[in-house]
Amino acid sequence: MTLEIRNLGKRYGDKTVVDGVSLTVREGQAFGLLGGNGAGKTTTIRSVLGLLEYEQGEVLWNGKNFAANRPSIGYLPEERGLYPKETVSEQLLYLARLEGMKKAAAQQALKGWLERLDIAEHEHKRVEQLSKGNQQKVQIISALLHDPELVILDEPFSGLDPVNSDMLSSVVKEELARGKAMIFSSHQMMQVEQFCEDICILKKGIVQIDGRLDDIKRSYGRSSLILRSEADLAPVLQAGGYEGTKRGAGEWALKIDSEEEAFGLMRRLAQEGVPLLKFEIKEPTLHEIFIEKVGEAV
């Protein structure tokens, strides 16, 4: 089960909102679709779902036209939507029936999910009576209840406290282990790093960077080097042309362009007899990459 987007383009009048986006989401894998506000994430998702018509490119499911071979989809939109006046069970069963589930099967699945997310006691309450976090859980159930093949989660963690965030994290991991293909869009980079092997960062509808997260980090170049010493490193670093920042307690952090550069520096420090207590090359965080790729023009 593979979702492929090839060279997708979408315009509103003269304004191009998505331009040449390509990505591939594989079975059992979460794809991180990242970007600032207005980058074109939601437009890309809506185009995949067929909610919007696009002018350019194609969307494929298992190599065939997506619209003609539509998989069952679990969609958690950025703008949450439930019937405020209907009870939790009524609307979830209705949504499951619309996916072709039999009533008994839907009821059984619903029971399991309500217990799994710890909101079984709210089954017969109206949605408007629930807290925001519990409404969010109902929304998540609505996306997963019918055991969809393709799951699209847009900001799934918003409104959840740390306990419930952990609960959802384990749910997402379970779903991935069960072989779902997943598109995961979020501004919380920690969560993206936790789930996603592949990512793509959009800005103004154009892909800034994409590929495997590990490769992106490695090839990103600019890493951080952390040094700790009882001696004062400032003169040595200045002599070498580095602008080290003192992090306190005998620690310095500096930017390096490659691992070789770091090793060169270490050799020099050893030749000069500077004792090192710590030498650590840190990969750039996704947060840093995101800020640099998206933030520069902001």
Partner 1 sequence: MNKMWTVLAYSFKERIRSKSFKVMTLIVIAAILLLTQLPKWLGGGGEAQTQGTVAVIDESNLNLTAEGLSGNVSPLYTWQVLPAEELDAQTALLKDDKLEGVVRVNAGDGAPQVTLVVDKSEDASFAQPLMSYVGQAYTASEVGKLNLDAGEARQITAPPVLDLQELNAGGKSFAETFMPVYLLLFLLYFMIYLFAGNVATSISVEKGSRIKEILITKVSPGQLLTGKLLGVGLAGILQFALIFGVGAALIRFAGGGEGIRLGAFSVDFSILGGGTLAVTALVFVLGYFFYAALFGAAGSLVSRSEELNQAIMPVSILLMASFFAGMMSMNDPNGTLAVAGSYIPFLTPLVLIARVGAGELAPMEIMVPLLILAASTVLVAWLSSRIYRAGVLLYGQKPSLGMMLRALGSGKRGPAVSASAGGKTTSGM
The reply to whether 34 sits near partner 1 by the rule CB under 8 A is: no
The reply to whether 51 sits near partner 1 by the rule CB under 8 A is: yes
How far CA 269 is from CA of 222, 223, 227, 228, 273, in Å, comes to 21, 19, 11, 12, 6
* Residues pairing with 214 in the sheet: none
The binder of partner 1 chosen from 5, 21, 23, 59 (CB under 8 A)? 59
How far CA 260 is from CA of 104, 125, 263, 265, in Å, comes to 63, 62, 5, 9
Stretch that binds partner 1, among 21-29, 54-62, 104-112, 246-254 (CB under 8 A): 54-62
CB of 77 to partner 1, least distance (A): 5
The reply to whether 212 sits near partner 1 by the rule CB under 8 A is: no
Nearer to partner 1, 65 or 245 (CB): 65
- Residues 154, 42 contacting (CB under 8 angstroms): yes
The reply to whether 213 sits near partner 1 by the rule CB under 8 A is: no
- Residues 71, 148 contacting (CB under 8 angstroms): yes
Site for partner 1 in 131-160 (CB under 8 A): 142
- Residues 43, 15 contacting (CB under 8 angstroms): no
CB of 178 to partner 1, least distance (A): 20
The reply to whether 279 sits near partner 1 by the rule CB under 8 A is: no
The binder of partner 1 chosen from 39, 73, 117, 200 (CB under 8 A)? 73
Nearer to partner 1, 51 or 234 (CB): 51
CB of 163 to partner 1, least distance (A): 26
Structure tokens at 235: 């003169």
The reply to whether 80 sits near partner 1 by the rule CB under 8 A is: yes
Site for partner 1 in 85-124 (CB under 8 A): 85-86, 91, 94-95, 97-100
CB of 165 to partner 1, least distance (A): 22
The binder of partner 1 chosen from 41, 46, 137, 293 (CB under 8 A)? 46
The reply to whether 263 sits near partner 1 by the rule CB under 8 A is: no
* Helix-helix angle 162-177:132-144, to 10 degrees: 0
The binder of partner 1 chosen from 14, 53, 121, 296 (CB under 8 A)? 53
Nearer to partner 1, 95 or 216 (CB): 95
The binder of partner 1 chosen from 38, 55, 247, 263 (CB under 8 A)? 55
Using only C-alpha atoms, the chain has a radius of gyration, in whole angstroms, of 24
The binder of partner 1 chosen from 13, 15, 37, 79 (CB under 8 A)? 79
Nearer to partner 1, 72 or 245 (CB): 72
The reply to whether 223 sits near partner 1 by the rule CB under 8 A is: no
Contact residues for partner 1 (CB under 8 A)?
Answer: 46, 49-59, 65, 67-68, 70, 72-73, 75, 77, 79-86, 91, 94-95, 97-100, 142
